[in-house]
C-alpha cells in the first residue's frame, strides 16, 4: 500500500512533536500544567492556521469561481451587456480578490499565533528585566517581526500588505523590503494574481516555518535563562573555574542559535 504523504498540518505537528520529545522525561514534564497549556496552544494554533487555509482553498475560492461563472452568464443575458463590455469588466476579478484576501486571512492567523506564543513563553519563564523578544534583538539581532527576512513568510506577508494597503497592486510600502522573487515580473500598475494552487503552496510553505520559529525562540529563551544564571553564579563567592564548562556550553548553544537564524533567513 502506498504510504500517504504528510499534509502541511501533519508535517508541522510531527516536527514540533519531535522537538518536544527530545526533552528528557517528556511525559513527566507534561504533568506541569503550564507546559501542557503551551503544548496545547501550539497544536491548536497550527490547526487554526491550517483550517484557515482549508476554508479559503476548499470553500471561498470554489464559491468565487461559481460566482464568476454565474456573473458572466448574467452579463450575457443582461440588457446592459454593452456597458459591461465597454468598460472591459471581467468577473474573474472576483476570484483574484478572493485569493488575495485569503492571504490576508491566513497571515493574520499566523501573526497572531506567533505573537501569542512569544508572550506565553515570556510568562512561563517568569518576570525578567528584558523580554525574550527584546533579548533576541539585542543579543542575536533577530526580530521575529522582520518577516521579510524569511522567503516563505515574506511572500505571504507581502501579498497580504499589498491587498490591505495597495488595493492588490504589487507595490512595496517599505523601500527597504524587496519584492518577493515570485512577483518580480509583476509591474507596479498591475494587481497581484495568484492561482488557487499557488495560494495553497504559498501558505503551506508559511506554516512550514512554524517549527523553525519555535525552535529559535525557545532556544533563545533557554540561552537567556542560562546566561542570567551564569551571571548570578559568577558573582557568587563560591564560583569555581570548573564553572567555565557552563560558558563553553553557552558558546555552543549560541553558535547553534546563530546557525538556525542564518538558515531561517536564507
Please indicate, yes or no, if residue 186 is contained in any of the structural domains. yes
Please indicate, yes or no, if residue 221 is contained in any of the structural domains. no
Please give the C-alpha separations between residue 139 and each of 32, 87, 143, 219, 261, in angstroms, as whole numbers: 29, 56, 10, 13, 12
Domain extent at residue 89: 8-208
Return the pLDDT at 24: 45
- Cα R_g (the chain), whole angstroms: 24
**Domains in the chain, number:** 1
Return the pLDDT at 76: 80
Please indicate, yes or no, if residue 172 is contained in any of the structural domains. yes
Residues with pLDDT less than 50, the chain: 23-26, 241
Please indicate, yes or no, if residue 103 is contained in any of the structural domains. yes
Return the pLDDT at 3: 62
Please indicate, yes or no, if residue 182 is contained in any of the structural domains. yes
Rounded CA separation 32/28 (Å): 8
Contact 95, 65 (CB under 8 A): yes
Rounded CA separation 208/213 (Å): 10
Rounded CA separation 26/202 (Å): 33
Please indicate, yes or no, if residue 243 is contained in any of the structural domains. no
Residues forming a β-bridge with 169: 191
CA-nearest of 20, 92, 27, 25 to 61 is: 92
Rounded CA separation 68/64 (Å): 6
Please indicate, yes or no, if residue 226 is contained in any of the structural domains. no
Please indicate, yes or no, if residue 240 is contained in any of the structural domains. no
Amino acid at each position: 500500500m502506498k504510504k500517504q504523504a504528510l499534509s502541511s498540518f501533519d508535517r508541522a505537528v510531527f516536527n514540533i512533536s519531535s522537538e518536544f520529545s527530545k526533552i528528557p522525561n517528556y511525559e513527566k514534564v507534561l504533568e506541569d500544567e503550564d507546559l501542557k497549556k503551551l503544548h496545547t496552544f501550539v497544536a491548536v494554533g497550527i490547526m487554526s492556521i491550517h483550517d484557515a487555509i482549508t476554508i479559503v482553498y476548499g470553500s471561498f475560492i470554489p464559491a468565487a469561481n461559481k460566482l464568476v461563472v454565474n456573473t458572466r452568464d448574467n452579463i450575457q443575458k443582461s440588457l446592459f451587456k454593452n456597458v459591461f463590455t465597454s468598460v472591459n469588466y471581467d468577473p474573474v476579478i472576483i476570484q483574484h480578490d478572493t485569493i488575495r484576501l485569503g492571504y490576508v486571512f491566513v497571515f493574520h492567523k499566523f501573526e497572531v499565533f506567533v505573537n501569542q506564543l512569544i508572550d506565553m513563553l515570556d510568562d512561563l519563564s517568569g518576570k525578567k528585566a528584558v523580554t525574550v523578544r527584546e533579548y533576541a534583538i539585542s543579543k542575536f539581532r533577530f526580530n521575529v517581526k522582520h518577516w521579510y527576512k524569511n522567503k516563505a513568510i515574506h511572500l505571504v506577508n507581502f501579498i497580504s500588505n499589498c491587498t490591505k494597503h495597495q488595493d492588490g497592486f504589487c507595490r512595496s510600502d517599505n523601500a527597504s523590503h524587496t519584492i518577493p522573487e515570485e512577483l518580480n515580473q509583476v509591474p507596479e500598475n498591475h494587481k497581484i494574481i495568484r492561482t488557487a494552487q499557488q495560494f495553497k503552496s504559498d501558505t503551506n510553505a508559511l506554516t512550514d516555518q512554524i517549527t523553525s520559529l519555535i525552535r529559535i525562540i525557545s532556544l533563545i529563551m533557554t540561552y537567556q535563562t542560562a546566561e542570567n544564571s551564569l551571571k548570578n553564579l559568577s558573582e557568587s563567592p563560591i564560583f569555581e573555574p570548573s564553572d567555565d564548562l557552563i560558558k563553553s556550553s553557552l558558546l555552543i548553544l549560541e553558535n547553534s542559535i546563530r546557525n538556525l537564524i542564518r538558515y531561517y533567513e536564507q
